[in-house]
Structure 1
Amino acid sequence: MRNLSLAVRAEALVKTYGPTRALDQVDLELPPGRVLGLLGPNGAGKTTTVRILTTLLRPDSGRAWVAGHDVLTEPDAVRRSIGLSGQYAAVDEHLTGYENLYLVARLYGCRRTDARARARALVRRFGLDEVADRPAKGYSGGMRRRLDLAGALVAEPPVVVLDEPTTGLDPLGRQDTWAVIRELVAGGTSVLLTTQYLEEADQLADEVVVVDHGRVIARGTVDGLKEQLGGERLELVVEAADAPETLRILSAVGTGLPTWDEHTRRAEVLVDTGPKALVEALRRLDDRHIVVRDVALHRPTLDQVFFALTRDGER
């Protein structure tokens, strides 16, 4: 049922294409002023979910609301409430960057004066000042992505949907985009974010939903999902000749089977006792006269959580 306290709510969304079940009973909840990260392998159902929530696609069954509006019965109201930046930059190549943003503002119903001011403000905000009056067909891929994201923010919508927004951006452009997203959320905007960069979700998302083969296989905060994977990772760099004895020692102090990377000469094992296991491992290695080139103890990364979850799904 409709929940006006949520920016986005989806209940039991189902979408099939012939024998393929792209979405299978997907539920989502995004509170106001938060970032929900939607993660999953290619073909998991992320973009299908986005297309339904933005009224571009009808589900076979299930319900969804965005900014309190039903995506099936109130599509116009939903469109007025959202900004969308898709996987591919929606830019008119024959218009300048400024003209693209001015056009979007006018389509949203802004007066000419307001549209001009809004377009110029966004040009500055996204670092496009120097190219704002050049045709977009001469823009680099990163410039087009920034222009597309700026277009999603023209109307200052309460809900912004970002479908892999930093694809094609260099590291600096990605950092700039993250700063814009944080600024939006600080101002009360709700963001639904799909991304292939797990670091991006780790940096930005208040909560994460992982989908695989059209189903939700995990949900929670990033820290909560890391805790589900359990323990900490003890990593050691040693000489290749010392690998067998190092792995034997790590088997004794850790839980589960240790791993060895021949290229980096890095041995790794899951440990439950953290610093205690680290001290014990170093003591035993020293007794065996094994020189440790580097050592680290860290919590699981979101990459490790993601790989563990999706591999479990495959099994």
Structure 2
Amino acid sequence: MSAALLIQGLKKTYANQLEALKGIDLRIEQGDFFALLGSNGAGKTTVIGIIFGLLNKTSGNIEVLGFNQNSHANQVKKLIGLMPQEFNFNPFEFIEEILINQAGYYGIIKSKAKIQAELLLKEVGLWDKRFNMAKSLSGGMKRRLMLARALIHQPKILILDEPTAGVDVEIRRSMWRFLSKLNDQGMTIILTTHYLEEAESLCRNIAILNEGEIIKQTSMKALLSQVDQQVLILESSTKLPRTIVTDNFKCERLDDYSLQVTLGSDVNITNVLQNLSIQGINVDYVRSTQNRLEALFLCLTNKEE
């Protein structure tokens, strides 16, 4: 089986001689949920731009589901859905029309595009806004519109560049659920994010990019196993029960509305939230002085204070 994405020796040098990418090798398997992390300026957006054909590479080879980008550029674009970081739709266009017009770029006839647009807008909670202009949407709604637009042509691979930047916790979690559902259905998803808890909760494999080079590529489980434990504060808007049952993590009740949990290297925050939810405890906010992935990220990129 061909890899979803295979990158070999990818280099990018700009006209001002800035060497943005210094020979990247990356392999992402079909059906993976993959995190591509790095600080600002590390080269993440450059990699995404080259994969999607928005930027020209200096050298290297890219294959998408076995199709070489050089010889099958149009086929490669049809296989990928891209949700960029910046809003780039016409703010004076109606929401439904944005999706239908996007589908037209991929040769999808209008009748089929309308059906797909309805399905996606209902999925992301924007169907009742379909006749509104995009400029009327809140920031979170615009993010969901961007996601629907990236999916309108039913791509095999979805690339997300900071998909939940600036949205509230509730919308972020609803997007997480939708993305997990897409991945469960077989879609390969590549995620860049500054919310490291997002990468930890969603992704199975990870690559860390630093100054144009990949300095680590491994499974999320293997990477997190390098940290002994992390301490999180969980806050709820409803009063907590006096007794809380835990199995594989330590839990201390700080007051009526907050808990302190200590997680070992083999425990994911998602498992903790599921455990508490079963007991009727809905966590509204999670905070940490430094989560496990953040600690490793800072160590690997030599950005610790």
Task: Work out whether the TM-score is over 0.5.
Answer: yes
Distance 2:230 2:197 in 1: 18
Q: Which moved more, 1:303-312 or 1:83-92?
A: 303-312
TM-score, structure 2 normalization: 0.78
Runs of 4+ off more than 6 Å: none
Distance 2:35 2:64 in 1: 16
1:311 alignment partner in structure 2? 302
Q: SS of the residue aligned with 1:311?
A: coil
Change over 3 Å in CA distance of 1:233–1:122 after alignment to 2? closer
Contact 1:51 1:57 in 2 (8 A): yes
Question: Residue 99 of structure 1: which of 94, 97, 100 is its match?
Answer: 97
1:59 alignment partner in structure 2? 57
Q: SS of the residue aligned with 2:27?
A: strand
Q: Which has the higher helix share?
A: 1
1:21 alignment partner in structure 2? 19
Question: Residue 71 of structure 1: which of 69, 90, 94 is its match?
Answer: 69
Distance 2:261 2:297 in 1: 24
Distance 2:77 2:137 in 1: 28
TM-score, structure 1 normalization: 0.75
Cα distance, 1:20 vs structure 2? 2.1
Q: SS of the residue aligned with 1:183?
A: helix
Question: Residue 34 of structure 2: which of 32, 36, 47 is its match?
Answer: 36
Contact 1:234 1:298 in 2 (8 A): no
CA RMSD of the aligned region, Å? 2.4
Cα distance, 1:124 vs structure 2? 0.7
Where does structure 2 lack aligned partners over 5 or more consecutive residues?
A: 233-248, 251-259, 266-290
Distance 2:173 2:263 in 1: 27
1:95-137 alpha-carbon deviations (Å, 9 max, x no partner)? 1111111111222222222111111111111111232211111
Q: Is 2:2 the counterpart of 1:5?
A: yes
Aligned residues: percent identity? 35
Distance 1:92 1:48 in 2: 24
Contact 2:8 2:25 in 1 (8 A): yes
Q: How many residues align?
A: 255
Q: Which amino acid aligns with 1:81?
A: L
Contact 1:145 1:168 in 2 (8 A): no
Q: Which amino acid aligns with 1:5?
A: S
1:130-161 alpha-carbon deviations (Å, 9 max, x no partner)? 32211111111211111011001011111111
Contact 1:208 1:220 in 2 (8 A): yes
Distance 1:78 1:47 in 2: 18
Distance 1:112 1:295 in 2: 52
Q: SS of the residue aligned with 1:220?
A: strand
Distance 1:138 1:98 in 2: 13
Change over 3 Å in CA distance of 1:124–1:61 after alignment to 2? same
